Structure 1
Amino acid sequence: MRMAKLSNRELIWNAISRSVFQDRVVSYGKFLDAIINPEHPEHQSITSQALMMLPAATFVNLLGKKSFIENWTTIKDSVVITRKSVMDNVIILDSIWSSIVTGFSFIKPRPYIKKPLSSKLQSTFLEVSKKSKGVSIYDIKKNTGRAYNRVHEDVSKLEALDLVSTNLTKVNNREVKVVSLKFA
């Protein structure tokens, strides 16, 4: 009889699960279901225990990047933070989520963003993040070497995702759209 081949995540889980749950055996499938599904009866306890005991990178690896991006805000909102180690891991995981999605670590996770930004959109976003007072679309165009209409489309997409805000200002008797980060 052939045994099913274990995935890398299952192998990692088998190696560390006893250190996370010393009082019982928790299968990888049960762990994953309990973490992702807020309706699971053990969601609170398993999630809190995992956040307390697992390094942030291991937590992300066990969920997988795609699943982590899709579910992190739901997981975070349902966790009751009782220890400093859990709070520290939540902050680190917020930063990891933001870094994976936007390429910039200091953006609050948004529940409606379910996949990473494209590389071109990330480069536009990073150009905006360089200037604390905002940057014009013309400056972004010049710095990225991309066409104005493409940069304008990117800014519109970022604005729709609530990552940036735009304001019209007058410079040398011309109206210029200034783009700035939205941290909240």
Structure 2
Amino acid sequence: MTTFSSLLLACAGALCLPGAQAAILTFDDLAGSGSMREYGGLSWTGWQHADAQEAPYSPASGNTRLFNISNDNAFAAVTAFQFQGAHFAGYATVSFHMFLNGSLVAVSDSLTTNGSAAFLASGYGGMVDRVSVMADLPQYFVMDNVMINSAAPVAVAEPAGLLLMAGGLGALALLRRRPARKN
């Protein structure tokens, strides 16, 4: 590959910034039990955390997991995010209802829980701002290891910077085309 081609690819790569940051919320830094309000950049409605072992409510990792205290079990954010799924254990059959700007955009498959934590994938690759956890037996399941991709601010190149880079690439192209002088 020529130096010019390498430089062009490097410049193109510099303009392609990552758009999301992956996160797994394990809740393992929460000790004891208590109400969930704000955690991991999300607002939690109807959830509590506990770190006491109680079968069949096994956490997926560590000791702490979430349990619900109402029939409105949701987590939400002001900024839209991509939701991959979470681990569940207990006696209930659970699923996700995913929302964006107040509209239902997707519903996941269902998972029948038991004493071993199992992963339920969202099955949806788009952005959401609220996820409701639906269950046939509310308050008979726990949730752990919530997996999200948070929307990260993406740097936008300023027009002057783009013009300067284009001018530099143009100058390199002219130098490359000019035949070398013989002394």
Return the structure number with greater relative CO, CA threshold 8 A, min gap 6. Answer: 2
Q: Which has the higher helix share?
A: 1
Interval containing the TM-score (normalised by the shorter chain): under 0.3
TM-score (norm 1): 0.24
TM-score (norm 2): 0.24
Specify the structure having the higher radius of gyration (Cα): 2
